């Protein structure tokens, strides 16, 4: 077992990584898969939890809201943590938190303890993806980063697809506790294997943590994500005027606190980065290719996470499929993304971004516009095929965007770039879900009030939500032409103060 003294990475030779570095990356890929798998199971379990725990639907939403809030608070500080502490220590801390939270959820006697368990789980999950991205960028030579990032796309595509399907099968036959009971032994195995095989990659530097920045980050990103999670409640007229008014006030206060704290957080980081002490170094945005890639990722994430969340509801509420059947509808596309990930990575390594991003953006936009035409008579088999095509477009987008964005940064900013990428995904995902749910609900209510049949009104609401996703994704066609593959020596450059 190694010590916690940071080690210097051994340069990769040719097309083969050093065995120690390969082992570290595979460990991180496995841990990230387990964490994301767990994250995507809870939505399916909420109806069962409402019955078993005797809670309201509003209370049950805190099981996902608390998780999202914790992710939004922790991810922005991972850039600092990954520079301050060695890889092995960060990995063991993250997996210990995740495993401990999973165990607590398994034995939770009631709702309050289960929410606390989700917060502990999220604390470990939030660290895992930035740790994986930063380590990969540190040890993988530039000429083979695409194919390695393709393996990350396997994790990011398969885990969200398997999670709801696995949860549906478990809930059809067993108690909701088995969702955590199945994840726990896998997490413990990853923790034990990591304690035996994980080694330190890269260099660390001592630096005092800036407490005001941590507080401002928590209030800023947490306030915005919480406000986004309350949009549906504020727009829900059927819950009663008093409830809607209270939700509106809550939303307004959350956004106000979040916006003010975020502005102060940015101001403080700009000052601290002059002496390399920023909690989240914003000099990453001085690199145009990184900023363009992040903007592209933000637009895709808003459209994608909103679509992937409401599509199963359409399949169940309008087409009458079961939760398990609706989960299986997205599985072929996820498998396709996983299979194509390394292939797309190799294409990126050889040919760059445009050959992937341009057709990927066109495919994604075409599918989203198609979704604006679906209704109560749509064929599930046609939607299965279309969803698989959408997965192809997303696969052609995610790998080059991940690789081009982080590959454009100087080596010293890899950890901060990974933290920015994770934060943007989290906030964009929350925004996409909130906006599309609000539009969907508003159109449904309007249709029913106007005398439209219930099924037709529901279908109309879903079409309106998909229209928003299509409009949001449209600029990605232009962005696909602007983003380029960085030079292989980009990581050796520095960014001025």
Write the pLDDT tens digit of every residue in 31-66.
888 888 887 777 677 777 888 888 876 677 778 778
d(CA 409, CA 413) in angstroms, rounded, equals: 6
pLDDT of residue 495: 56
159-189 pLDDT, tens digit per residue, is 777 777 788 788 778 888 998 999 999 999 9
pLDDT of residue 295: 94
Give the CATH number of domain 17-209; options: 1.25.40.10, 1.20.1250.20, 3.40.50.720, 1.10.1740.10: 1.20.1250.20
d(CA 336, CA 181) in angstroms, rounded, equals: 28
Query: Residue 60: left (phi > 0), alpha (psi -120 to 50), or beta?
Result: alpha
Residue of higher predicted confidence among 162 and 458: 458
The CA-based angle 69-393-335, given to 5 degrees, is 75
- Mean pLDDT of all residues in 203-225: 83
At 235, the pLDDT band (50, 70, 90 cuts) reads low
309-318 pLDDT, tens digit per residue, is 788 778 888 8
* Contact between residue 308 and residue 330 where contact means Cβ atoms under 8 Å apart: yes
pLDDT of residue 488: 59
d(CA 162, CA 443) in angstroms, rounded, equals: 31
Question: Quick one: fold of 280-488?
Answer: Growth Hormone; Chain: A; (1.20.1250)
The three-class DSSP label of residue 13 is strand
d(CA 133, CA 297) in angstroms, rounded, equals: 15
Closest CA to 304 of 391, 235, 244: 391
Record the tokens describing residue 217, joined without a space.
Answer: 């980050």
In this model, does residue 265 exceed pLDDT 90? yes
* Contact between residue 432 and residue 303 where contact means Cβ atoms under 8 Å apart: yes
357-370 pLDDT, tens digit per residue, is 999 999 999 999 99
Q: How many CA atoms lie within 13 A of 456 on its CB side?
A: 7
Q: How many CA atoms lie within 13 A of 124 on its CB side?
A: 29
In this model, does residue 204 exceed pLDDT 80? no
- Return phi, psi of residue 51, to 5°: -75, -45
* Contact between residue 268 and residue 216 where contact means Cβ atoms under 8 Å apart: yes
Closest CA to 239 of 45, 24, 57, 469: 57
What's the Cα-to-Cα distance from 204 to each of 5, 93, 305, 421, rounded to whole Å? 9, 16, 34, 21
The three-class DSSP label of residue 205 is coil
Least reliable range by pLDDT among 15-29, 183-197, 381-395, 441-455: 15-29
- Return phi, psi of residue 13, to 5°: -110, 125
Mean pLDDT of the chain: 83
* Contact between residue 172 and residue 324 where contact means Cβ atoms under 8 Å apart: yes
d(CA 90, CA 268) in angstroms, rounded, equals: 25
pLDDT of residue 8: 45
d(CA 230, CA 251) in angstroms, rounded, equals: 6
pLDDT of residue 431: 83
d(CA 407, CA 422) in angstroms, rounded, equals: 15
């Amino acid at each position: 077992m190694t010590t916690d003294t940071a080690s210097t990475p051994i340069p990769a030779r040719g097309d083969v990584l050093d065995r120690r570095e390969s082992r570290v990356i595979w460990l991180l890929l496995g841990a990230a898969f387990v964490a994301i798998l767990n994250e995507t199971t809870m939505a399916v379990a909420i109806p069962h939890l409402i019955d078993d725990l005797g809670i309201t639907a509003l209370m049950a939403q805190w099981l996902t809201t608390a998780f999202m809030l914790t992710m939004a608070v922790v991810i922005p500080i991972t850039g600092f943590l990954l520079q301050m502490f060695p890889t092995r220590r960060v990995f063991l801390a993250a997996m210990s938190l995740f495993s401990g939270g999973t165990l607590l959820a398994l034995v939770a006697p009631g709702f309050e303890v289960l929410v606390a368990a989700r917060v502990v789980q999220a604390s470990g999950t939030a660290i895992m993806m930035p740790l994986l991205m930063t380590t990969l960028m540190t040890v993988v030579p530039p000429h083979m980063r695409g194919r390695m990032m393709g393996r990350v796309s396997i994790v990011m595509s398969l885990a969200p697809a398997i999670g709801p399907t696995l949860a549906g099968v478990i809930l059809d036959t067993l108690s909701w506790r088995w969702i955590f009971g199945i994840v726990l032994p896998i997490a413990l195995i990853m923790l034990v294997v990591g304690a035996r095989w994980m080694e330190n990659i890269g260099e660390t530097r001592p630096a005092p943590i800036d407490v005001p920045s941590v507080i401002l980050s928590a209030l800023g990103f947490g306030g915005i994500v919480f406000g986004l999670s309350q949009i549906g409640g504020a727009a829900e007229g059927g819950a009663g005027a008093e409830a809607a008014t209270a939700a509106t006030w809550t939303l307004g206060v959350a956004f106000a606190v979040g916006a003010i704290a975020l502005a102060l957080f940015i101001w403080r980081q700009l000052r601290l980065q002059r002496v390399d002490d920023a909690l989240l170094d914003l000099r990453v945005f001085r690199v145009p290719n990184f900023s363009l890639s992040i903007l592209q990722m933000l637009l895709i994430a808003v459209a994608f996470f909103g679509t992937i969340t409401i599509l199963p509801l359409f399949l169940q509420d309008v087409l009458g499929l079961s939760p398990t059947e609706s989960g299986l509808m997205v599985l072929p596309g996820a498998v396709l993304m996983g299979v194509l990930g390394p292939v797309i990575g190799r294409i990126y390594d050889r040919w760059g971004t445009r050959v992937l991003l341009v057709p990927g953006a066109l495919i994604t936009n075409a599918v989203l516009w198609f979704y604006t035409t679906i209704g109560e008579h749509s064929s599930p088999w046609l939607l299965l095929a279309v969803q698989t095509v959408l997965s192809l477009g997303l696969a052609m987008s995610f790998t080059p965007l991940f690789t081009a964005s982080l590959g454009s940064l100087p080596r010293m900013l890899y950890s901060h770039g990974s933290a920015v990428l994770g934060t943007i995904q989290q906030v964009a995902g929350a925004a996409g879900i909130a906006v599309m749910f609000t539009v969907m609900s508003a159109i449904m209510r309007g249709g029913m009030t106007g005398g439209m049949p219930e099924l037709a009104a529901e279908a109309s609401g879903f079409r309106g939500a998909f229209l928003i996703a299509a409009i949001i994704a449209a600029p990605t066609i232009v962005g696909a032409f602007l983003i380029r593959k960085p030079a292989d020596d980009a990581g050796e450059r520095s960014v001025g103060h």
